[in-house]
Structure 1
Amino acid sequence: MKENIKEVAKLLIEKRLTIAFAESATAGRLCAEFSMPADAGKYLKGGLVCYDASLKTDILGVDSEIIEKYTPESAQVTEAIALGLTHLIDADIHIGVTGLPAPGGSETFEKPVGTMFIHAIKNGESFFTDRHVFSGNSEAIINDTVERVAQLLLKNLN
Protein backbone atom coordinates (compact mmCIF):
# COMPACT_ATOMS: atom_id res chain seq x y z
CA MET A 1 0.00 0.00 0.00
CA LYS A 2 1.22 3.46 -0.84
CA GLU A 3 2.43 5.43 2.19
CA ASN A 4 0.95 8.77 1.10
CA ILE A 5 -2.47 7.20 0.68
CA LYS A 6 -2.28 5.85 4.24
CA GLU A 7 -1.44 9.37 5.43
CA VAL A 8 -4.33 10.87 3.47
CA ALA A 9 -6.65 8.22 4.92
CA LYS A 10 -5.61 9.20 8.47
CA LEU A 11 -6.18 12.88 7.71
CA LEU A 12 -9.58 12.27 6.15
CA ILE A 13 -10.66 10.23 9.17
CA GLU A 14 -9.27 12.79 11.65
CA LYS A 15 -11.02 15.65 9.84
CA ARG A 16 -14.18 13.58 9.31
CA LEU A 17 -14.09 14.16 5.57
CA THR A 18 -15.36 11.87 2.84
CA ILE A 19 -14.08 11.55 -0.73
CA ALA A 20 -15.35 10.38 -4.12
CA PHE A 21 -13.71 10.06 -7.53
CA ALA A 22 -14.76 10.60 -11.15
CA GLU A 23 -12.09 8.71 -13.08
CA SER A 24 -11.48 8.68 -16.78
CA ALA A 25 -7.84 7.87 -17.54
CA THR A 26 -7.19 6.14 -14.20
CA ALA A 27 -10.20 3.84 -14.80
CA GLY A 28 -10.92 3.10 -11.13
CA ARG A 29 -7.35 2.88 -9.85
CA LEU A 30 -7.84 5.81 -7.46
CA CYS A 31 -10.89 4.23 -5.88
CA ALA A 32 -9.12 0.89 -5.61
CA GLU A 33 -6.00 2.35 -4.00
CA PHE A 34 -7.96 4.55 -1.60
CA SER A 35 -9.98 1.49 -0.49
CA MET A 36 -6.86 -0.29 0.82
CA PRO A 37 -6.15 1.51 4.13
CA ALA A 38 -7.87 0.34 7.30
CA ASP A 39 -11.24 1.97 7.94
CA ALA A 40 -11.62 3.08 4.30
CA GLY A 41 -15.38 2.95 4.82
CA LYS A 42 -15.08 5.98 7.09
CA TYR A 43 -13.90 8.27 4.27
CA LEU A 44 -14.30 6.62 0.83
CA LYS A 45 -17.76 7.07 -0.65
CA GLY A 46 -17.00 5.56 -4.06
CA GLY A 47 -16.52 6.63 -7.60
CA LEU A 48 -17.51 6.54 -11.21
CA VAL A 49 -15.34 5.35 -14.06
CA CYS A 50 -16.22 7.56 -17.02
CA TYR A 51 -13.70 6.39 -19.57
CA ASP A 52 -15.99 6.97 -22.53
CA ALA A 53 -17.11 10.53 -23.30
CA SER A 54 -20.76 9.45 -23.39
CA LEU A 55 -20.62 8.70 -19.65
CA LYS A 56 -19.19 12.16 -19.04
CA THR A 57 -22.18 13.71 -20.79
CA ASP A 58 -24.99 11.25 -19.97
CA ILE A 59 -24.21 10.56 -16.30
CA LEU A 60 -22.03 13.44 -15.11
CA GLY A 61 -23.84 16.11 -17.14
CA VAL A 62 -20.77 17.48 -18.93
CA ASP A 63 -21.83 19.69 -21.83
CA SER A 64 -20.75 17.95 -25.05
CA GLU A 65 -19.66 21.34 -26.40
CA ILE A 66 -17.00 21.51 -23.66
CA ILE A 67 -15.71 18.09 -24.70
CA GLU A 68 -15.70 19.07 -28.39
CA LYS A 69 -14.00 22.41 -27.76
CA TYR A 70 -11.36 21.28 -25.25
CA THR A 71 -11.18 17.47 -25.85
CA PRO A 72 -12.12 14.75 -23.33
CA GLU A 73 -8.61 14.97 -21.87
CA SER A 74 -8.48 18.58 -20.67
CA ALA A 75 -8.53 20.74 -17.56
CA GLN A 76 -12.02 21.98 -18.48
CA VAL A 77 -13.52 18.51 -18.78
CA THR A 78 -11.75 17.39 -15.61
CA GLU A 79 -13.34 20.23 -13.68
CA ALA A 80 -16.72 19.42 -15.25
CA ILE A 81 -16.60 15.73 -14.26
CA ALA A 82 -15.65 16.65 -10.69
CA LEU A 83 -18.56 19.08 -10.58
CA GLY A 84 -20.93 16.52 -12.09
CA LEU A 85 -19.89 14.02 -9.43
CA THR A 86 -21.03 16.42 -6.70
CA HIS A 87 -24.61 15.80 -7.89
CA LEU A 88 -24.24 12.00 -7.82
CA ILE A 89 -22.25 11.13 -4.71
CA ASP A 90 -22.64 12.91 -1.39
CA ALA A 91 -19.08 13.54 -0.21
CA ASP A 92 -16.97 16.40 1.13
CA ILE A 93 -14.27 16.09 -1.55
CA HIS A 94 -14.88 15.22 -5.20
CA ILE A 95 -11.91 14.55 -7.47
CA GLY A 96 -11.97 14.29 -11.25
CA VAL A 97 -9.12 12.88 -13.33
CA THR A 98 -8.64 12.79 -17.10
CA GLY A 99 -5.55 12.50 -19.22
CA LEU A 100 -3.44 10.65 -21.70
CA PRO A 101 -1.74 7.58 -20.23
CA ALA A 102 -1.39 6.09 -23.73
CA PRO A 103 -1.43 7.21 -27.37
CA GLY A 104 -4.74 7.45 -29.19
CA GLY A 105 -6.45 10.35 -27.45
CA SER A 106 -6.11 14.06 -28.05
CA GLU A 107 -2.34 14.22 -27.69
CA THR A 108 -0.52 17.12 -29.31
CA PHE A 109 2.93 18.68 -29.04
CA GLU A 110 1.60 20.91 -26.24
CA LYS A 111 -0.28 18.03 -24.61
CA PRO A 112 1.82 14.89 -25.05
CA VAL A 113 1.07 11.37 -23.88
CA GLY A 114 1.62 11.40 -20.12
CA THR A 115 -0.33 14.62 -19.58
CA MET A 116 -2.79 14.15 -16.72
CA PHE A 117 -5.36 16.55 -15.29
CA ILE A 118 -6.68 16.54 -11.72
CA HIS A 119 -9.42 18.75 -10.29
CA ALA A 120 -10.71 18.63 -6.71
CA ILE A 121 -13.78 20.25 -5.24
CA LYS A 122 -14.19 20.51 -1.46
CA ASN A 123 -17.58 21.38 0.00
CA GLY A 124 -18.76 22.76 -3.33
CA GLU A 125 -15.74 24.99 -4.03
CA SER A 126 -12.62 24.43 -6.11
CA PHE A 127 -10.00 22.90 -3.81
CA PHE A 128 -7.07 22.33 -6.17
CA THR A 129 -6.31 21.76 -9.81
CA ASP A 130 -3.24 20.22 -11.40
CA ARG A 131 -1.79 19.48 -14.82
CA HIS A 132 1.27 17.26 -14.83
CA VAL A 133 3.20 15.44 -17.54
CA PHE A 134 4.44 12.01 -16.47
CA SER A 135 6.75 9.69 -18.37
CA GLY A 136 6.86 5.95 -18.77
CA ASN A 137 4.35 3.37 -19.90
CA SER A 138 0.61 3.54 -19.18
CA GLU A 139 0.93 1.66 -15.91
CA ALA A 140 3.63 4.03 -14.64
CA ILE A 141 1.65 7.10 -15.69
CA ILE A 142 -1.49 5.87 -13.92
CA ASN A 143 0.43 4.89 -10.78
CA ASP A 144 2.20 8.26 -10.75
CA THR A 145 -1.16 10.01 -11.12
CA VAL A 146 -2.56 8.16 -8.11
CA GLU A 147 0.52 9.19 -6.14
CA ARG A 148 0.15 12.78 -7.35
CA VAL A 149 -3.47 12.89 -6.14
CA ALA A 150 -2.32 11.63 -2.72
CA GLN A 151 0.45 14.26 -2.59
CA LEU A 152 -1.95 17.06 -3.52
CA LEU A 153 -4.44 15.92 -0.91
CA LEU A 154 -1.72 15.82 1.77
CA LYS A 155 -0.55 19.29 0.82
CA ASN A 156 -4.03 20.80 0.76
CA LEU A 157 -5.50 19.03 3.78
CA ASN A 158 -2.67 20.05 6.12
Structure 2
Amino acid sequence: MASEKITLCSSRIAEKKLKIAVAESATAGWLASEFALVPESGEIFLGGIVCYDVSTKEELFAIPKNVIDEFSPESAEVTRLLAERLNRYFKCDIAIAVTGLTSTGGSETPEKPVGTMFIHIKLPDNKYCAHREVFEGSPEEIIKQTVSRTGELLCGYIDAM
Protein backbone atom coordinates (compact mmCIF):
# COMPACT_ATOMS: atom_id res chain seq x y z
CA MET A 1 0.00 0.00 0.00
CA ALA A 2 1.31 3.45 -0.92
CA SER A 3 1.99 6.05 1.74
CA GLU A 4 -0.82 8.39 2.68
CA LYS A 5 0.92 11.46 1.21
CA ILE A 6 1.65 9.79 -2.15
CA THR A 7 -1.93 8.48 -2.31
CA LEU A 8 -3.33 11.94 -1.60
CA CYS A 9 -1.19 13.78 -4.15
CA SER A 10 -1.84 11.07 -6.76
CA SER A 11 -5.58 11.67 -6.60
CA ARG A 12 -4.95 15.40 -7.06
CA ILE A 13 -2.66 14.71 -10.03
CA ALA A 14 -5.39 12.54 -11.57
CA GLU A 15 -8.01 15.25 -11.04
CA LYS A 16 -5.82 17.63 -13.06
CA LYS A 17 -5.18 14.92 -15.68
CA LEU A 18 -1.41 15.20 -15.36
CA LYS A 19 1.31 12.60 -15.91
CA ILE A 20 4.28 12.03 -13.62
CA ALA A 21 7.70 10.34 -13.88
CA VAL A 22 10.63 10.02 -11.49
CA ALA A 23 14.45 9.86 -11.56
CA GLU A 24 15.81 8.38 -8.36
CA SER A 25 19.24 7.94 -6.89
CA ALA A 26 19.25 7.44 -3.11
CA THR A 27 15.63 6.27 -2.96
CA ALA A 28 16.50 3.56 -5.52
CA GLY A 29 13.01 3.08 -6.97
CA TRP A 30 11.04 3.39 -3.73
CA LEU A 31 9.28 6.55 -4.92
CA ALA A 32 8.35 4.88 -8.21
CA SER A 33 6.95 1.87 -6.39
CA GLU A 34 4.81 4.15 -4.22
CA PHE A 35 3.27 5.77 -7.31
CA ALA A 36 2.73 2.31 -8.81
CA LEU A 37 0.63 1.30 -5.78
CA VAL A 38 -1.94 4.12 -5.90
CA PRO A 39 -5.40 3.51 -7.40
CA GLU A 40 -4.70 6.13 -10.12
CA SER A 41 -1.32 4.67 -11.11
CA GLY A 42 -2.47 3.75 -14.61
CA GLU A 43 -3.79 7.27 -15.18
CA ILE A 44 -0.88 9.28 -13.83
CA PHE A 45 2.36 7.29 -13.57
CA LEU A 46 4.56 6.92 -16.65
CA GLY A 47 7.57 5.32 -14.97
CA GLY A 48 10.90 5.93 -13.38
CA ILE A 49 14.63 5.56 -13.78
CA VAL A 50 16.98 4.55 -10.98
CA CYS A 51 20.30 6.31 -11.49
CA TYR A 52 22.05 5.25 -8.32
CA ASP A 53 25.60 5.16 -9.64
CA VAL A 54 27.30 8.34 -10.83
CA SER A 55 28.07 6.75 -14.21
CA THR A 56 24.34 6.38 -14.86
CA LYS A 57 23.81 10.06 -14.13
CA GLU A 58 26.63 10.93 -16.53
CA GLU A 59 25.76 8.51 -19.30
CA LEU A 60 21.97 8.30 -19.27
CA PHE A 61 21.22 11.89 -18.24
CA ALA A 62 24.32 13.52 -19.75
CA ILE A 63 25.18 15.23 -16.48
CA PRO A 64 28.53 16.88 -17.18
CA LYS A 65 31.45 15.46 -15.22
CA ASN A 66 32.54 18.96 -14.24
CA VAL A 67 29.12 19.56 -12.58
CA ILE A 68 29.42 16.30 -10.65
CA ASP A 69 33.03 17.07 -9.69
CA GLU A 70 32.15 20.58 -8.52
CA PHE A 71 28.90 19.82 -6.65
CA SER A 72 28.93 16.00 -6.14
CA PRO A 73 26.50 13.37 -7.46
CA GLU A 74 24.29 14.04 -4.44
CA SER A 75 23.58 17.75 -4.82
CA ALA A 76 20.85 20.21 -5.65
CA GLU A 77 22.55 21.01 -8.95
CA VAL A 78 22.63 17.40 -10.15
CA THR A 79 19.11 16.74 -8.87
CA ARG A 80 17.76 19.68 -10.88
CA LEU A 81 19.45 18.43 -14.05
CA LEU A 82 17.95 14.97 -13.52
CA ALA A 83 14.46 16.47 -13.24
CA GLU A 84 14.99 18.71 -16.26
CA ARG A 85 16.28 15.85 -18.42
CA LEU A 86 13.73 13.24 -17.40
CA ASN A 87 11.45 14.35 -20.24
CA ARG A 88 13.95 12.80 -22.66
CA TYR A 89 12.46 9.47 -21.60
CA PHE A 90 8.93 10.33 -20.48
CA LYS A 91 6.42 12.84 -21.83
CA CYS A 92 5.50 13.90 -18.31
CA ASP A 93 3.86 17.00 -16.92
CA ILE A 94 5.60 16.53 -13.57
CA ALA A 95 9.19 15.29 -13.24
CA ILE A 96 10.57 14.43 -9.82
CA ALA A 97 14.24 13.76 -9.11
CA VAL A 98 15.75 12.67 -5.80
CA THR A 99 19.38 12.31 -4.75
CA GLY A 100 20.96 12.24 -1.34
CA LEU A 101 22.91 10.44 1.31
CA THR A 102 21.27 7.58 3.19
CA SER A 103 24.51 6.10 4.53
CA THR A 104 28.21 6.87 4.81
CA GLY A 105 30.59 6.54 1.89
CA GLY A 106 29.17 9.19 -0.42
CA SER A 107 29.88 12.88 -0.57
CA GLU A 108 28.99 13.64 3.05
CA THR A 109 30.61 16.64 4.71
CA PRO A 110 29.86 18.55 7.92
CA GLU A 111 27.66 20.87 5.80
CA LYS A 112 26.03 17.90 4.02
CA PRO A 113 25.77 15.05 6.54
CA VAL A 114 24.29 11.61 6.01
CA GLY A 115 20.53 12.09 5.85
CA THR A 116 20.75 15.07 3.49
CA MET A 117 18.26 14.58 0.67
CA PHE A 118 17.58 16.71 -2.40
CA ILE A 119 14.14 16.72 -4.02
CA HIS A 120 13.58 18.56 -7.25
CA ILE A 121 10.13 18.80 -8.83
CA LYS A 122 9.61 20.20 -12.33
CA LEU A 123 6.00 21.25 -12.77
CA PRO A 124 3.99 22.30 -15.83
CA ASP A 125 4.94 25.67 -17.35
CA ASN A 126 8.57 25.09 -16.31
CA LYS A 127 7.95 25.90 -12.66
CA TYR A 128 10.44 24.31 -10.28
CA CYS A 129 10.58 23.30 -6.65
CA ALA A 130 14.00 22.64 -5.15
CA HIS A 131 14.05 21.23 -1.64
CA ARG A 132 16.89 20.16 0.64
CA GLU A 133 16.25 18.47 3.94
CA VAL A 134 18.26 16.51 6.48
CA PHE A 135 16.52 13.42 7.86
CA GLU A 136 17.69 11.15 10.65
CA GLY A 137 17.57 7.41 11.08
CA SER A 138 18.54 4.27 9.23
CA PRO A 139 18.80 4.31 5.44
CA GLU A 140 15.27 2.84 5.25
CA GLU A 141 13.90 5.50 7.61
CA ILE A 142 15.59 8.27 5.61
CA ILE A 143 14.07 6.95 2.39
CA LYS A 144 10.59 6.65 3.93
CA GLN A 145 10.81 10.23 5.22
CA THR A 146 12.00 11.44 1.81
CA VAL A 147 9.13 9.74 0.00
CA SER A 148 6.63 11.17 2.45
CA ARG A 149 8.12 14.67 2.19
CA THR A 150 8.06 14.43 -1.61
CA GLY A 151 4.34 13.64 -1.49
CA GLU A 152 3.74 16.52 0.90
CA LEU A 153 5.64 19.00 -1.29
CA LEU A 154 3.92 17.74 -4.43
CA CYS A 155 0.47 18.12 -2.88
CA GLY A 156 1.25 21.71 -2.00
CA TYR A 157 2.35 22.53 -5.51
CA ILE A 158 -0.55 20.71 -7.15
CA ASP A 159 -3.01 22.58 -4.91
CA ALA A 160 -1.40 25.90 -5.88
CA MET A 161 -1.81 25.24 -9.62
TM band (smaller chain): over 0.9
Q: How far apart are 1:124 and its partner, in Å? A: 5.6
Matched, 1:132 2:133: yes
Q: Indicate the residue corresponding to 1:91 in structure 2.
A: 92
Q: Figure out how many residues of one structure are paired with residues of the other and give that number.
A: 158
Per the alignment, do residues 82 and 127 of structure 1 end up closer, same or farther by CA in structure 2, a change over 3 Å counting? same
> How far apart, CA to CA, are the structure 1 residues paired with 2:71 and 2:151?
26
Q: Indicate the residue corresponding to 1:122 in structure 2.
A: 123
For residue 71 of structure 1, what is the amino acid of its counterpart? S
Q: Normalising by structure 2, what TM-score?
A: 0.95
Equivalent pair of 2:11/2:40 in contact (CA under 8 Å): no
Q: Indicate the residue corresponding to 1:144 in structure 2.
A: 145
Q: Percent identity among equivalent residues?
A: 44
For residue 17 of structure 1, what is the amino acid of its counterpart? L
Q: Indicate the residue corresponding to 2:23 in structure 1.
A: 22
Q: How far apart are 1:8 and its partner, in Å? A: 0.8
Write out per-residue CA displacement over residues 44-70 of structure 1, whole angstroms, 9 at most, x where no aligned residue: 000100001111111111111100110
Per the alignment, do residues 92 and 125 of structure 1 end up closer, same or farther by CA in structure 2, a change over 3 Å counting? same
Q: Indicate the residue corresponding to 2:75 in structure 1.
A: 74
* Ranges in structure 1 where 5+ consecutive residues have no aligned partner: none
Q: RMSD of the TM alignment (CA)?
A: 0.9
Write out per-residue CA displacement over residues 42-101 of structure 1, whole angstroms, 9 at most, x where no aligned residue: 000001000011111111111111001100010000001111112221100001100001
Q: Normalising by structure 1, what TM-score?
A: 0.97
* Ranges in structure 2 where 5+ consecutive residues have no aligned partner: none
Equivalent pair of 1:62/1:84 in contact (CA under 8 Å): no
Q: Indicate the residue corresponding to 2:103 in structure 1.
A: 102
> How far apart, CA to CA, are the structure 1 residues paired with 2:145 and 2:127?
22
Query: Per the alignment, in what secondary structure is the counterpart of residue 59 of structure 1?
Result: helix
Q: How far apart are 1:117 and its partner, in Å? A: 0.2
Query: Per the alignment, in what secondary structure is the counterpart of residue 101 of structure 1?
Result: coil
